[in-house]
Structure 1
Amino acid sequence: MLNRGGRRGGRPGKILGKAGYGVLILTALMCLALAIMLSVSIGIAGSGFKTLLQTVVLGDNSSNLGRIMLEMRLPRALAACLTGAAFALAGAIMQGITRNPLADAGLLGINAGAGFAVALGAVLWPSLSSLGTMLTAFGGAALAVLLVYGLGMGKQKSGAIRLILAGAAVGAFLTALSQGVGLTFGLSKDLSFWTSGSLAGISWAQLNVAAPWIAAAGVAGLLLAGRLSILALGEESAAGLGVNVGALRLTGLGVVLVLAGASVSLAGGISFLGLIIPHTARLLVGADYRKILPLSALLGGMLLVLSDVAARMINAPFDTPVGALVSVIGVPFFLVLTYRKKGA
Structure 2
Amino acid sequence: MSRDTRIHASRTYSDPSASQNQAKKRRLSPSFLILLLSVGMIIGVLLFITTGAANIQLSTVWEAILHYDENQVQHYTVLSVRLPRAVTAIIVGGCFAVSGAIMQGMTRNPLASPSLLGVSAGARFGLVLGFAFLPHLSYQLMIVISMLGAAFGAMTVYGVGMLAAFKGSEHVSHVKLALAGAAVSALLAALSEGIQIYFGIAQEVMYWYAAGIAGVKWMHVWTIIPWAVVGLVLSLMISRNITMLSLGEEVATGLGQRVKWVKFLGALTVFALTGAAVAVAGPIGFIGLIIPHVTRFLIGVDYRWVIPCSGMFGGWFLLMADTVSRWVNPPLETPVGILTALLGVPFFLYLARRGGRGSL
User: Would you call these one fold, judging by a TM-score over 0.5?
Assistant: yes
Aligned counterpart, 1:292: 306
Distance apart, 1:127 and its partner CA: 3.2
The 5 A counterparts of 1:1-344 are: 13-16=23-26, 20-56=29-65, 58-62=66-70, 63-153=72-162, 154=165, 157=170, 158-188=172-202, 191=205, 198-341=212-355
Deviation at 1:59, TM superposition (A): 3.7
Provide the rounded CA distance (Å) in 1 between the counterparts of 2:186 and 2:226. 30
Contact 2:131 2:205 in 1 (8 A): no
Could you report, residue by residue, the CA deviation over 1:90-147 in whole angstroms, capped at 9, with x for unpaired residues?
0000001111010001000110011111122223333332112211101111111221
Output the amino acid matched with 1:290.
R
Q: Which moved more, 1:200-209 or 1:147-156?
A: 147-156
Q: Deviations over 1:231-256 (max 9, x none)?
A: 12221111111111111111101100
CA distance in 1, matches of 2:68, 2:81: 16
Q: C-alpha distance in 2, partners of 1:73/1:215?
A: 22
Q: Secondary structure at the match of 1:44?
A: coil
Q: Deviations over 1:183-230 (max 9, x none)?
A: 334444674697796102101112111111111101211222111111
Q: Decide whether aligned partners of structure 1 residues 328 and 16 sit closer, same or farther in structure 2, where only a CA change above 3 A counts.
A: same
Are the counterparts in 2 of residues 35 and 305 from structure 1 also a CA contact under 8 Å? yes
1:20 Cα deviation after fit: 3.4
Cα separation, 2, equivalents of 1:184 and 1:46: 43
Gap runs ≥5 in structure 2 = 1-8, 14-19
Give the 3-state SS of the residue equivalent to 1:313 in structure 2: coil
Taking the aligned partners of 2:53 and 2:75, their CA distance within structure 1 comes to 13
Distance 1:317 1:189, change over 3 A: farther
Which is higher, the Rg of structure 1 or of structure 2?
A: 2
How far 1:302 moved relative to its partner?
0.5
Q: Is the 8 A contact 1:273 1:300 kept in 2?
A: yes
Instruction: Report if the CA contact (8 A) 2:110-2:357 is conserved.
Output: no
Give the counterpart letter for 1:107 in structure 2. Answer: L
> What one-letter code is carried by the residue in structure 2 that aligns with 1:44?
A
Q: Closer, same or farther in 2 for the Cα pair 1:15/1:53, shift >3 Å?
A: farther
Does the CA contact (< 8 Å) of 1:179 and 1:191 recur in 2?
A: no
Task: Return closer, same or farther for 1:193/1:168 CA change in 2, 3 Å cut-off.
Answer: farther
1:45, CA displacement in angstroms?
3.7
Contact 1:81–1:305 (8 Å) recurs in 2: yes
Rounded to whole Å, the distance in 2 between the matches of 1:59 and 1:97 is 48
Contact preservation (8 Å) 1:197, 1:324: no
Percent of aligned pairs sharing the same letter: 38
CA distance in 1 between partners of 2:101 and 2:225 (Å): 20
**Do the aligned partners of 2:351 and 2:357 also contact (CA within 8 Å) in 1?**
no
Give the distance between the partners of 1:325 and 1:272, measured in 2 at CA.
10
Equivalent pairs, count: 336
Deviation at 1:70, TM superposition (A): 0.4
Relative to structure 1, is the Cα distance of residues 295 and 114 closer, same or farther in structure 2, using a 3 angstrom cutoff? Answer: same
| Offset at residue 11 of structure 1 (A) | 7.9
Q: Residue 343 of structure 1: CA displacement?
A: 7.3
C-alpha displacement of 1:330: 0.3
Q: Distance in 1 between matches of 2:88 and 2:184?
A: 27
Structure 1 pair 13–104 and aligned structure 2 pair: CA distance change class (3 A): farther
| Structure 2 CA distance for aligned equivalents of residues 273 and 175 of structure 1 | 19
d(CA) in 1 for partners of 2:356 and 2:187? Answer: 26
Note if contact 1:110-1:144 (Cα within 8 Å) is conserved in structure 2.
yes
Deviation (angstroms), 1:307: 0.8
Q: Please state whether the residue corresponding to 2:331 is helix, strand or coil.
A: coil
2: distance between equivalents of 1:252 and 1:72?
34
